[in-house]
Amino acid sequence: MKVAFCIPNMIVGGVESVFIRTLDGILERIANDKKYKNIEICVITHAKITEPLYKNWFNKHPKIKIIVLYPLENYFEGLIKITEFFPLRQIRKISFSLYKKFKRLGIKRKIQDVDVFIDYKNCSFWKELRSINKRKIAWIHGNVAYLSNIGVDKYIDDYDKIIGLTDDFVTEFNTVFPNLAKKVARIYNPIDKNAIIKMSKTGSYIEGKYFCHVSRLDNTQKDINTLLLAFENFYLNNEKPDIKLVIIGSGPKEKEIKKIANSLSCRKNIVFTGKLENPFGYMKHAMANVLSSKIEGLPTVLVESMALGVLCVASNCKYGPREILLNGSAGLLFDVGNVKQLSKIFTDIYKNKVDKDNMIDCATESLYRFESKVINKQIMDLL
């Protein structure tokens, strides 16, 4: 059986890192279990893989064939900066659209030997797969509303199976698409606890007390404004303690977020590290790892924090935090966008008013749900 994982591009992001982790687990299963020996894996992308981190990974796994559907996509993306203004912007968009339509004419021939397609990132390949009569699995890393927002809700029935990352997703999906209830299932993102702990021992960090936040720098989803304002309130209400806020990551709103941070009284206590391949050193030595998102798919950073034995603080957003943190037993939850609540949580942690040890113990005991062995078996059973 030939299985194709379809992912539009390999940028440095949460979905992509989970994707590589998932491939690692599947390859290990294939290598060590005879009943899977006839499964062959390939990867289908829209654009060429240029990120060194992932190029190196695929170079180490030459048996995985990579099929690039739109080799010139990288070229068109490179034109964005020099075609910002009308009419050049429109010319680029129209040209790129026509190019993709032309290339789609030959896609069937390119992927005709694939038996199962896994559209791994939110139905990104529905246009390419809708006319192909093979087994298709949609892997949704966002929320149910997102399917409608991008206009694929009317095509979701084309898939034989829909995989969500949380029980909340499955519940909401069944409410919105009751006729597809038999198709949907939940599979958590896998983590490799031992690898995370090992990396934390070699990862860099700073001395002293600090809270840690790891995400793409994007206020639309990650709501870093709330994080910054809550830390400012905490800082001013506690006589300017010698505690830092470390923000790890990069993204489209990086300049805007740094500008906001520089306008605050606590600006000297806010540290931006930029993008790190190994953030686990910082995460391991933090007082708490903080997630401030407005919405998530399954925030793996919380599970990674649990694996490191560090307290988690998260917004009670859809989907994941409440499920991961067991309704607040395995970590602290605050309402989305609630600056005062998050500020108080910072203060409670700082003043040791939180039952930190019990929460970390509860988190550690529940970690088996996300272990690679458990998740990889579920994926192989699905295949």
Neighbouring residues of 147: CB distance < 8 A, sequence distance ≥ 6: 122, 123, 140, 153, 156
Q: Dmax over Cα atoms in the chain, in whole Å?
A: 67
193-366: CATH topology: Rossmann fold (3.40.50)
- Confidence (pLDDT) at 89: 87
pLDDT digits 0-9 by tens, 38-52: 999 999 999 999 999
The whole-number pLDDT of residue 246 equals 98
> Any residues with CB less than 8 A from the CB of 226 and at least 6 apart, and which?
292, 315, 336, 337, 338, 339, 342
Distance CA 339, CA 345 (A): 10
Query: What confidence score (pLDDT) does residue 109 get?
Result: 87
Q: Given this model, what pLDDT does residue 152 score?
A: 85
Q: Which residues, listed in sequence order, are joined to residue 67 by a DSSP beta bridge?
A: 44
Can you tell me the distance from the alpha carbon of 232 to that of 260, in angstroms, rounded to the nearest whole number?
A: 11
SS3 content of the chain, % helix, strand, coil (to 5): 50, 15, 35
Among the listed residues 310, 303, 228, the one whose alpha carbon sits nearest the alpha carbon of residue 261: 228
What is residue 17's predicted lDDT score, i.e. its pLDDT?
86
Write out the two tokens for 51. 């990120």
pLDDT tens-digit map of 273-282: 998 989 999 9
Asked if domains 2-191+371-382 and 193-366 share a fold, the reply is: yes
Are the C-beta atoms of residues 156 and 123 closer than 8 Å to each other? Answer: yes
Cα gap 350→343, rounded to integer Å: 11
DSSP state of 113: T
Residue-wise pLDDT tens digits, 230-267: 999 999 999 999 999 999 999 889 999 999 999 999 99
Q: Is 227 helix (H, G, I), strand (E, B) or coil?
A: helix
Average pLDDT, the chain: 93
Q: In a 3-state reduction of DSSP, which class is residue 295?
A: strand
Residue 332, pLDDT above cutoff 90: yes
> For residue range 4-18, what is the model confidence (pLDDT) as tens digits?
999 999 987 778 988
pLDDT of residue 85: 80
Contact at 8 Å (CB) between 293 and 221? yes
pTM confidence score: 0.85
What stretches of 113-172 adopt beta strand conformation (E)?
Answer: 116-119, 135-139, 161-164
- Are the C-beta atoms of residues 26 and 12 closer than 8 Å to each other? no
Each residue's pLDDT tens digit, 86-108: 888 899 899 999 999 999 988 88
Q: Can you tell me the distance from the alpha carbon of 107 to that of 3, in angstroms, rounded to the nearest whole number?
A: 16
Residues 67, 106 contacting (CB under 8 angstroms): no
Judge whether 44 and 9 are in contact, CB under 8 Å: no
Its CATH architecture, for the domain 2-191+371-382, is 3-Layer(aba) Sandwich (3.40)
Query: How many residues are listed for the chain in this entry?
Result: 383
Over residues 114-130, mean pLDDT: 94
Per-residue pLDDT at 77: 86
Of all residues in the chain, the percent with pLDDT exceeding 70 is: 100
- Tell me: the pLDDT tens digits for 202-223? 999 999 999 999 998 988 889 9
Each domain of the chain, given as residue ranges in start order, spans 2-191+371-382, 193-366
pLDDT at 149: 84
